[in-house]
């Protein structure tokens, strides 16, 4: 009897741990649809002057978002993007990068 | 935790600003209109830009980088005229290209289509040494499967050749591009843009920053020149515009109305007067301004950072009545905000209830510098003389917030809306 309970506890702990560390895609989805989709599109394929994010890997997306958060100019329209990155936390960036990179090819 | 907090604070900021700035818009409830339902007529399009209907309900539509197609009443789609690099079109024209905001834009059907099968398209082209925007005249075959007999009836609408140091500063910017026949006078009206070139709007020698009024051969309406200043190109109807993406005509008076995209502030609806100046003049070293990046003051005094739209308006008005006291005053100014006003159409028909006769205007949404994004369709109730707006309501669009690019009414009175996301919707009263 004891062993299975211990295993179960360990398993729950392990799941909890991995959740705490790995990005939370569903939080990324919520944030994306409320704060990003109006420019980059519901499928992140870009619209008008707003670039496609589809097919970018998480590392690329995070580093861009960190640049914009720091107020760095990247392309001609950074002025439009910077205010949208200003208030993102490290977790937000990780969640967004995970959500975008694994859902939009 | 930190992630939650930042989501909430972002949301709260948006909600708060929408509350403050949105208040005057929402003053009247939208419930005076009919209940609406919607159908997705086409999806997975690439930047659909404009539509035009034949009398039987067949719908021509453009995609900015692909070309011209037609949706038949039975729902089938025939691809008619493809642009450079496309496949699957009955004809292709390698000179038709897209870049940035430029590409294939407006489409219109000749008032005598039943006799002459003629249609018109506005597109960017590489035929000339420098790229131009053009108005193409085409014949649509009886089977609705192909077009032929291309004649470029306007060949010299300027196109932005090179990127500049401005927001949205890529090449191909500010083309206008809507084309519509006025049922009242039978002329084709063509809206253009300023290309981020400060010289164009007030220059009578250039077709940029103008509304043109031409016949089916591209010749100016004879009375244009009576109304415009000496020396103006005879095709020019009105001038001093920034980037006019929408034009429509009052169902009773034929009065043309345009939607004019504002520079970080003041989207406008204007009632056009022949020879009128819309008052946009972004030249440096005038009207109290000094030098500006790449000689264009259109986004100054502070191009890339958010600031109070009212401060911007004082520095760089879209309608400069101090310099041009006779400029056409806007009928409506979107509460001083720029949210990407994109097109307009008068709703007609009893089925629209209180909205019958009102002007529907669409917004792409921007969301720059604290301005609420503002993706929506508004209904403007114009005063008796058509010179001001009595009331504004937001259409409770069943499609949800989208980048609305084009509004067109079908022959049966249904409203069609194209969105940059790639859909064309039919919106109907229940």
Strands B179-181 and B147-158: unpaired
Q: Is A56 helix (H, G, I), strand (E, B) or coil?
A: coil
For residue A4, what is the DSSP state? H
For residue A75, what is the DSSP state? S
A8: distance to nearest CA of chain B, Å?
Answer: 27
Alpha-carbon distance values, A93 to A18, A22, A98 (Å): 18, 12, 8
- What pLDDT shows up at residue A94? 97
Q: Which of residues 151-170 of B touch A (CB under 8 A)?
A: 163, 165-170
Contact state of B421 with A42 under an 8 Å Cβ cutoff? yes
pLDDT above 90: residue B272: yes
**Interacting residues of B409 by C-beta distance below 8 A, sequence separation 6+:** B345, B346, B347, B348, B415, B416
B61: distance to nearest CA of chain A, Å?
Answer: 17
Q: Is A41 helix (H, G, I), strand (E, B) or coil?
A: coil
Which residues form the domain of B406?
Answer: 2-429
Contact state of B6 with A88 under an 8 Å Cβ cutoff? yes
- Which residue in the block uniquely carries the two structure tokens 């089925």? B351
Three state DSSP letters for chain B: CHHHHHHHHHHHHHHHHHHHHHCCHHHCCHHHCCCEEEEEEECCCCCEEEEEECCCCCEEEEECCCEEEEECCCCCEEEEEECCCCCCCCEECCCECCECCECEEEEEECCCHHHHCEEEEEEEECCCCCCEEEEEEEEECCCCCCEEEEEEEEEEEECCCCCCCCCCCCCCCCCCCCEEECCCCCCEEEECECCCCCCCCCCCCCCCCCEEEECCCCCECCCHHHHCCCCCCCCEEEECCCEEEEEEECCCCCCEEEEECCCCCCCEEEECCCCCECCCCCCCCCCCCCCCHHHCCCCCCCCCCCCCHHHHHHHCCCCCCCCCCCCCCCCECHHHCCCCEEEEEECCCHHHHHHCCCEEEEECCCCCCCCCCCCEEEEEEECCCCCCEEEEEECCCCCCCCCEEEEEECCCCCEEEEECCCCEEEEEEC
CB pairs under 8 A between A and B: 73
Contact state of B401 with A38 under an 8 Å Cβ cutoff? yes
Contact state of A34 with B11 under an 8 Å Cβ cutoff? yes
Cα B64 to Cα B84: distance, rounded to the nearest angstrom:
11
pLDDT above 60: residue B326: yes
- What pLDDT shows up at residue B90? 98
**How is residue A93 written in tokens?**
């960036």
Cα B66 to Cα B249: distance, rounded to the nearest angstrom:
29
A76: part of which helix (H) or strand (E)?
Answer: none
Considering only CA atoms, which of A50, A40, A56 is closest in space to residue A98?
Answer: A56
pLDDT above 70: residue B356: yes
Residue B205 pLDDT class (50, 70, 90 cuts):
very high
Q: Is A70 on the interface with B (CB under 8 A)?
A: no
Q: Which of B93-97, B150-154, B256-260, B303-307 has the lowest mean pLDDT?
A: B303-307
Q: What is the mean pLDDT of residues B226-239?
A: 98
Cα A48 to Cα B47: distance, rounded to the nearest angstrom:
7
Output A105 or A102, whichever has higher pLDDT.
Answer: A102
pLDDT above 70: residue A30: yes
Query: Which residue is closest to B8 within chain A, CA to CA?
Result: A31
Considering only CA atoms, which of A43, A37, A49, A76 is closest in space to residue B375?
Answer: A37
Q: How many CB atoms lie within 10 A of CB A7?
A: 10
Query: Which residue is closest to A92 within chain B, CA to CA?
Result: B3
- Which residue in the block uniquely carries the two structure tokens 């100014």? B333
Cα B104 to Cα B84: distance, rounded to the nearest angstrom:
11
pLDDT above 80: residue B157: yes
Contact state of B167 with A47 under an 8 Å Cβ cutoff? no
For residue A50, what is the DSSP state? B
A47 bridge partner residues: A50
Q: What is the mean pLDDT of residues B59-72?
A: 98
Query: Which residue is closest to A88 within chain B, CA to CA?
Result: B6
B68 bridge partner residues: B62, B81
B131: distance to nearest CA of chain A, Å?
Answer: 19
Q: Is A74 on the interface with B (CB under 8 A)?
A: no
- What pLDDT shows up at residue B124? 98
pLDDT above 60: residue A18: no
The values of phi and psi at residue B346, to 5°, are: -80, 130
Considering only CA atoms, which of B378, B364, B401 is closest in space to residue B168?
Answer: B364
In whole numbers, what is the pLDDT of chain A averaged over residues?
83
**CATH number of residue B317's parent domain:** 2.120.10.30
- Which residue in the block uniquely carries the two structure tokens 């991995």? A18
Percent share of chain A, pLDDT over 70 = 80
pLDDT above 70: residue A5: no
Alpha-carbon distance values, A15 to A22, A102, B76 (Å): 10, 20, 51
pLDDT above 60: residue B31: no
- What pLDDT shows up at residue A2? 42
pLDDT above 90: residue B397: no
Contact state of B403 with A47 under an 8 Å Cβ cutoff? yes
Q: Is B418 on the interface with A (CB under 8 A)?
A: no
Cα B326 to Cα B143: distance, rounded to the nearest angstrom:
50
Q: What is the mean pLDDT of residues B88-99?
A: 98
What would the pLDDT profile of A31-42 be if each residue is shown by its tens digit? 999 899 988 988
Cα B180 to Cα B257: distance, rounded to the nearest angstrom:
11
Q: How many CB atoms lie within 10 A of CB B291?
A: 9
Question: Among partner residues A27, A80, A90, which is closest to B368 by beta-carbon distance?
Answer: A80
Q: Which of residues 97-116 of B touch A (CB under 8 A)?
A: 100-101
Percent share of chain B, pLDDT over 90 = 86
Residue B96 pLDDT class (50, 70, 90 cuts):
very high
**Residue of A33, A38, A88 to mutate, testing the B interface (most B Cβ within 10 Å of its Cβ):** A38
Q: Which residues does chain A have within 8 Å of residue B7's beta carbon, measured at their own beta carbons?
A: 27, 30-31, 34, 92
In terms of C-beta distances under 8 Å and separation of at least 24 residues, what long-range contacts does B250-258 make, across chains too? Answer: B250/B346, B250/B382, B250/B386, B251/B346, B251/B348, B251/B357, B252/B357, B253/B184, B253/B386, B254/B182, B254/B183, B254/B184, B254/B185, B255/B386, B256/B182, B256/B189, B256/B211, B257/B331, B257/B344, B257/B359, B258/B191, B258/B211, B258/B344
pLDDT above 50: residue B127: yes
A36: distance to nearest CA of chain B, Å?
Answer: 11
Contact state of A87 with B306 under an 8 Å Cβ cutoff? no
Are the C-beta atoms of residues B395 and B379 closer than 8 Å to each other?
A: yes
Q: What is the mean pLDDT of residues B60-78?
A: 98
Residue B345 pLDDT class (50, 70, 90 cuts):
very high
Q: How many folded domains does chain A comprise?
A: 1
**How is residue B103 written in tokens?**
């590409």
In whole numbers, what is the pLDDT of chain B averaged over residues?
92
- What pLDDT shows up at residue B343? 98
Q: Which of A9-13, B255-259, B399-403, B425-429 has the lowest mean pLDDT?
A: A9-13
Q: How many folded domains does chain B comprise?
A: 1
Q: How many CB atoms lie within 10 A of CB B369?
A: 19
Q: What is the mean pLDDT of residues B125-150?
A: 98
A49: distance to nearest CA of chain B, Å?
Answer: 6
- What pLDDT shows up at residue B110? 98
pLDDT above 50: residue A91: yes
**CATH number of residue A63's parent domain:** 1.10.760.10
**Residue of A19, A23, A40, A47 to mutate, testing the B interface (most B Cβ within 10 Å of its Cβ):** A47
């Amino acid at each position: 009897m004891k062993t299975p309970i211990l295993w179960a506890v360990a398993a729950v702990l392990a799941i909890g741990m991995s959740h705490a560390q790995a990005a939370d895609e569903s939080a990324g989805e919520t944030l994306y649809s409320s704060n990003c989709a109006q420019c980059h599109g519901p499928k992140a394929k870009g619209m008008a002057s707003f670039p496609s994010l589809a097919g970018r890997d998480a590392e690329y997306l995070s580093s861009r978002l960190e640049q914009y958060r720091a107020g760095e100019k990247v392309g001609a329209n950074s002025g439009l993007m910077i205010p949208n990155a200003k208030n993102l936390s490290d977790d937000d960036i990780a969640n967004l990068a995970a959500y975008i990179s694994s859902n939009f090819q | 935790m930190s992630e939650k907090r930042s989501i909430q604070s972002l949301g709260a900021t948006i909600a708060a600003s929408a509350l403050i700035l949105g208040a005057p818009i929402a003053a009247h409830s939208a419930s005076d209109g009919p209940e609406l339902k919607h159908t997705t007529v086409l999806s997975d399009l690439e930047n659909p830009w404009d539509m035009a209907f034949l009398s039987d309900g067949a719908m021509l539509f453009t995609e900015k980088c692909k070309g011209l197609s037609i949706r038949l009443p039975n729902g089938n789609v025939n691809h008619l005229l493809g642009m450079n690099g496309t496949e699957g079109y009955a004809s292709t024209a390698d000179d038709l290209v897209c870049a940035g905001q430029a590409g294939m834009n407006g489409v219109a059907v000749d008032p005598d289509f039943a006799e002459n099968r003629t249609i018109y398209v506005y597109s960017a082209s590489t035929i000339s040494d420098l790229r131009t925007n053009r108005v193409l005249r085409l014949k649509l075959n009886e089977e609705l499967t192909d077009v032929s007999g291309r004649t470029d009836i306007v060949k010299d609408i300027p196109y932005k050749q090179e990127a500049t140091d401005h927001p949205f500063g890529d090449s191909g910017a500010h083309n206008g591009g809507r084309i519509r026949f006025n049922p009242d006078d039978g002329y084709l009206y063509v809206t253009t843009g300023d290309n981020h070139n400060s010289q164009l709007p007030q220059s009578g020698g250039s077709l940029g920053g103008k509304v043109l009024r031409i016949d089916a051969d591209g010749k100016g309406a004879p009375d244009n020149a009576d109304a415009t200043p000496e020396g103006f190109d005879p095709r020019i109807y009105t001038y001093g515009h920034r980037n006019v993406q929408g034009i429509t005509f009052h169902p009773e008076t034929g009065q043309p109305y345009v939607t004019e995209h504002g520079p970080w502030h003041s989207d406008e609806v204007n009632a056009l007067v022949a020879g009128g100046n819309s008052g946009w003049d972004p030249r440096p070293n005038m009207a109290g301004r000094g030098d500006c990046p790449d000689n264009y003051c259109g986004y100054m005094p502070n191009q890339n950072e958010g600031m109070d739209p009212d401060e911007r308006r004082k520095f760089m008005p879209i309608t400069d009545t101090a310099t041009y006291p006779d400029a056409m005053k806007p009928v409506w100014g979107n509460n001083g905000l720029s949210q990407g006003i994109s097109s307009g159409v008068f709703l007609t028909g009893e089925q629209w209830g209180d909205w019958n006769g009102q002007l529907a205007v669409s917004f792409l949404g921007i969301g720059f510098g604290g301005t609420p994004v503002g993706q929506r369709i508004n209904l403007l109730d114009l005063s008796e003389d058509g010179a001001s707006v009595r009331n504004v309501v937001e259409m409770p669009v069943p499609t949800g917030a989208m980048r609305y690019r084009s509004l067109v009414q079908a022959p049966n009175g249904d409203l069609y809306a194209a969105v940059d996301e790639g859909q064309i919707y039919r919106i109907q009263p229940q």
